[in-house]
A = this chain, B = another copy of it.
Amino acid sequence: MAGLTEDRTRGWFRGARETTQLDLTTGAPAGAQPTRAIGGTHATVQVDRDQLPGVAAAEPRTDAFPAAEPVVRTVEQHLDLILAAAPTPDPIQLAVLDAQGLLCAEHVVSSRDLPAFEQAALDGYAARASDTVGATPEQPVGLAVVGESVAGPAEPSAIGPGLAHRVTAGAMLPTGADVVVPTVWTDGGAVHVGVQAELVPGTYVRHAGDDVAVGDTAVAEGSPIGPAQISLLAAVGRDRVLVHPRPRIAVLCAGNELVDVGTTPGPGQVVDVNSYALAAAARDAGAEAYRSGIVPRDRRKLVELLESQLLRSDVVLIAGTFAGGGFDLVQEALAQLGEVTFAQVAMHPGPVQAFGRLGRDGVPVICIPGEPAAALVAFEVFVRPAIRLMLGKRQLFRRTVQAVSAQQLLSPLGYRQYLHGQVMRHPDGGYVVEPVGGGESGHDAALARTARSNCLVVIDEDVTEVSPGGLVTVMPMLLGG
């Protein structure tokens, strides 16, 4: 349990050095002398990856606190660990309406023909094609109208040569009829009808099995279930369907400073916002989220809480595990229940992340930073893809677009940086983006700014500067409006 013994005061900052040294938009270390020059006016400063000092290349520790070396990972390495461990919940049977938005987990084969019987495709006259030979508007063919069929339960009927039935769309076709003459191609007669066009057999007739035949796949395994699939399932007689269920995710928050939203925070206290925001984000990603709120500050109670969550969850998500005074308690409880490795991930914000498995079933536990903006970034980067994987989705990641940066962006070398931004369509086409933060130091936690953002700007590890007008990768996070 290497990660559990880390030095929390210092260890995390070694690799994070570049991050803390830079004011991320101005490049100046907010009042201190710059520790390296920010070069050039290139749109994008690229650094040879082989030349990267690398987060693992920190100098030997010199302070007095002995501690295990922190585990160091790239974003991809940490994500891969999480995705590899994401369980695949067993498919469940749901009522078709409850299956909406989920992926089908069975091959639904039709035991019915759709349509089930030969029927009129529109309102008109059921007739025999052979009777219409030579018919034109000038020389219509006259037929005797001997019956009427509307859509609905019906006794089989039949017509012979020279006869017709009035029919409505969906009505069962009389035996002997092989065309439906649209009303507009007739004189609309009630007793005798003049047909003004010659029709080939089958015209405006829906044949049994035209849409789906017995044995056809109605809905294939892996299909996302939307209104049209629900239609089709109902049509083949299915009111329930096997689907990949929503993964159940328990959302907990740790931190001595936290109070629940109903409590007015005292000195040094802040409201727990993460359990709300992360539960909302998890639902938005397709999970069933259980908000457990702030974890108890008693180790035995905390272990009991975690154990109860393990029973009903596919994944446990904890924010703030390594923040402030709650640190040891939560890490100890986690250590008691399984193996959790705290790692320094080469990203900003939130370089400290953890992942492990708890309990007899090895339920994955993902620990993310407690700082709200960093928590939402970590959710996007690590948790949302895991939820989508558990849902069975093939596309785990948000679509990204390239956007023109409206202002200079600086990024710590060796870290993938995620900035909350606002992306807009550019008048000349394409997109333009700017970060929502003003670039002042210490504002990672700015909730109001995060709430104004509609995207994450992603700046690669080897890019330290994006000039105004340079291209950056943007991950739009659409909210309805």
Contacts and interface: CB of A to CB of B under 8 A. Distances in A.
A445 B152 contact: no
A460 B265 CA distance: 59
A83 to B, nearest CB: 17
B325 A150 contact: yes
Contact of A480 (B62, B224, B479): B224
Among the interface residues A168, A235, A237, which one has the most CB atoms of the partner chain B within 10 A? Answer: A235
Contact of A63 (B100, B188, B284, B480): B188
A363 to B, nearest CB: 23
Interface in A56-100: 62-65, 96-97, 100
Interface stretch (A29-37, A334-342, A468-476): A29-37
Contact of A451 (B96, B122, B229, B261): B229
Given A13-B183, A123-B9, A184-B21, A211 B255 contact: no
Contacts of A232: 273, 447-448, 450-451
A237 B283 CA distance: 22
A393 B323 contact: no
Interface in A179-218: 179, 182-185, 187-190, 197-206, 210-212, 216, 218
Nearest to A266: B153
Contacts of A189: 63
A449 interface: yes
A227 B273 CA distance: 10
Contacts of A20: 122, 182, 184, 204
Contacts of A31: 129, 179, 198-203
A280 interface: yes
A151 to B, nearest CB: 3
B152 A268 contact: yes
A277 B121 CA distance: 21
A55 to B, nearest CB: 13
Among the interface residues A65, A190, A274, A442, which one has the most CB atoms of the partner chain B within 10 A? Answer: A442
A400 interface: no
Contact of A234 (B13, B115, B272, B441): B272
Interface in A10-48: 10, 12-14, 16-17, 20-21, 29-33
Contacts of A370: 170
A150 B239 contact: no
A448 B110 CA distance: 11
26 contacts: A12-B123, A31-B129, A31-B199, A32-B197, A62-B188, A64-B190, A96-B276, A96-B280, A97-B279, A97-B283, A115-B445, A121-B443, A122-B442, A152-B268, A154-B268, A171-B324, A212-B447, A224-B479, A227-B277, A227-B379, A228-B451, A232-B451, A234-B276, A235-B271, A237-B271, A393-B480
Top 9 closest pairs, chain A to chain B, by CB: A151-B324, A31-B200, A121-B442, A152-B256, A32-B197, A154-B268, A231-B277, A228-B451, A227-B281
